[in-house]
Amino acid sequence: MPVPDPKTFTRILKTAQENDYAIASINVTNSNTINAALAAFVETKTDGIIQVSTGGGEHASGPAKDMALGAIAMAEYVHRIAADLPIYVALTTDHCVQDKVDKFLRPLIAESKRRVDRGQEPLFNGHMFDGSELPLGKNMEISKELLASMAPLGMLLEVEAGVVGGEEDGIDNTHAAAEKLYTTPEDMVFVYESLKDIGPFTFAATFGNVHGVYKPGNVKLEPKILRDGQAAVVAKYGPEAKLDLVFHGGSGTPIEEIHETLHYGIIKMNVDTDCQYHFTRAIVDHMMKNYDGVLRIDGEMGDKKTYDPRSYMKKAEASMKSRVIQAATELKSLGKSLFS
């Protein structure tokens, strides 16, 4: 049961919250990137999360070009491959904006309902709705409806208020207004009040974080925004109301700022851009070092051992695995699997 059931996933997040560490959530696009993440978690006895974006799902579906179908296929792959592994690996989805809800989130929720109706666990542990570009009231209106359909199945909803800058998977917030990059304490209270009576949720509050990797000084993070928002929620509703927060756009963040956010309730951090780079970097290295082998030059036949995709995909997986291990180390979750 390495894909945790709902109660176990709740326990994983609760333990992270209580002990000031966070779970690494790794975006995947195919079986190779899934294998890299799983290998990192297994090697270090670390629980983790594998997540699928709309673009990742569409890519995985091949000629079908069906983002939900691709996400289902990758989730089923994880359930099969991870079944006997000695760690927990949860499954979630990443940013889904309003105009993709009907062709991504709703089909995935329906697939989990079919599984639950058969006596199985849901396919995914949770989904993310990104309503950050909407007025907060409309954002929460849609979030409440989605959570109401997910909670009975044992799934949690991740929501976002405030905009994560930069660009990822076709969601371009490069030119977002500066004030939108910072969630206010009032926003955090409103999100809590909107969802607290419906079901479990996590909250991607924004504090200047951006997707992608930037040179030092180009990104101005304000982690104390999370502290102040949590304080506002706890002051009104008590310590049990402390929010489970998610850190988006974490690639390239200084280690001291990552550690600061752990004290303010971050229990999950998404890592995508750096994993993409590490995966691709190893392939480029292989091609440049084996140029005469991977190509049939001047009438030669090349070297099958070097153009066999397995030769460079193994290297790509190993390189991405190292970045996933780095993420777990930075988040202080390394070796803290609850699997026994």
- Residues forming the active site: 94
Using left for φ > 0, alpha for ψ between -120 and 50, and beta otherwise, residue 227 falls in alpha
The answer to whether 130 touches 171, Cβ cutoff 8 Å, is yes
3-state secondary structure (DSSP) of residue 319: helix
CB atoms < 10 A from the CB of 280, how many? 13
Query: 322: which 2 tokens?
Result: 């190292």
- Tokens of residue 261, six digits: 């956010």
- CA–CA separation, 163 and 314 (whole Å): 36
| Contacts with 31 (C-beta within 8 Å, 6 or more apart), sequence order | 74, 77
Q: Is 159 left (phi over 0), alpha (psi -120 to 50) or beta?
A: beta
DSSP per-residue codes, 264-295:
TTEEEEEE-HHHHHHHHHHHHHHHHHTHHHHS
DSSP string for 102-138: IIIIHHHHHHHHHHHHTTPPPS-SEEEE--TTS-HHH
Q: Find, among 289, 307, 306, 318, the residue nearest to 32 by Cα.
A: 318
Contacts of 246 (CB under 8 A, 6+ apart): 25, 158, 202, 203, 204, 266, 267, 268, 269, 270
Tell which residue, 323, 331, 214, has the closest CA to residue 268. 331
Query: Quick one: which H or E segment has residue 92?
Result: strand 89-93
